[in-house]
Amino acid sequence: MQKILLAVDQVSTWVGQLFSWLIVLLTLLISWEVFSRYVLNKPHGWALDAQIILYGTLFMMAGAYTLAKNNHVRGDVLYSFFEPRTQAWVDLVLYIVFFLPGVFAMTWAGWTFAADAVAIKEQTFSADPLPIYPFKAVIPIAAALLLAQGLVEIVRCIACIRTGAWPSRGQDVEEVDVEKLKEMVQVKDEDIVAAGQAALKKAGQP
């Protein structure tokens, strides 16, 4: 079972990392359009639509990847103090009550929107229209990936409820380890406190 969970994680990670390169293309496109508009005085009617399509695709295709890394925004004020079993129960209830109905509806509706858009070869309404049906086809694909990852997370919740510990996840980019960073630059907690007090004292001076 763990191999299956990690395999789904790997697929979500691979897709997310692949589509993350769209941010580079989006940056280049915006930079070129700014230069073309304000320096060459040659704006392009399709540029804004292209930017929206690129960003929308990036945003949607990163959903399963972010869920696989447990990095979606959550209210951690109380949740982080819970025992793993309590966290798993909370997650399980929220997945069943909110996540599954919402994502299933998005998958179903996204398929309908995409099919209609492909049938009429839908385009944008700008002066220089772009085909929009490939973009709408991304909706059910992204939703299906998110749904698959969500089912994996539900299995993880059940496993945690049974064992009292969260199953492992695939490793990827890690957040900054503050303690290791302090060791590297040889900074102690006392130094940080002293620097903060000095800054407050200086700010209070006329």
What is the pLDDT at residue 5?
83
- Say what the pTM is: 0.76
| pLDDT band, residue 179 (cuts 50/70/90) | low
Q: Are residues 166 and 182 in the same domain?
A: no
Read off the pLDDT of residues 72-109 as tens digits, 9 standing for 90 and up: 877 767 787 889 999 999 999 999 999 999 999 999 99
Is the CB of residue 74 less than 8 Å from the CB of residue 152?
no
DSSP 8-state secondary structure symbol assigned to residue 131:
B
Is the CB of residue 182 less than 8 Å from the CB of residue 20?
no
Number of domains in the chain: 2
Q: Are residues 72 and 150 in the same domain?
A: yes
What is the pLDDT at residue 18?
94
Q: Are residues 19 and 75 in the same domain?
A: yes
d(C-alpha 117, C-alpha 1), whole Å: 38
pLDDT at residue 180 is higher than 70:
no
Residue span of the structural domain in which 127 resides: 2-175
Average pLDDT, the chain: 85
- Please report, for the chain, how many H helices and E strands are present, in that order: 10, 0
Q: Are residues 70 and 86 in the same domain?
A: yes
Q: Are residues 152 and 190 in the same domain?
A: no
Q: Are residues 85 and 122 in the same domain?
A: yes
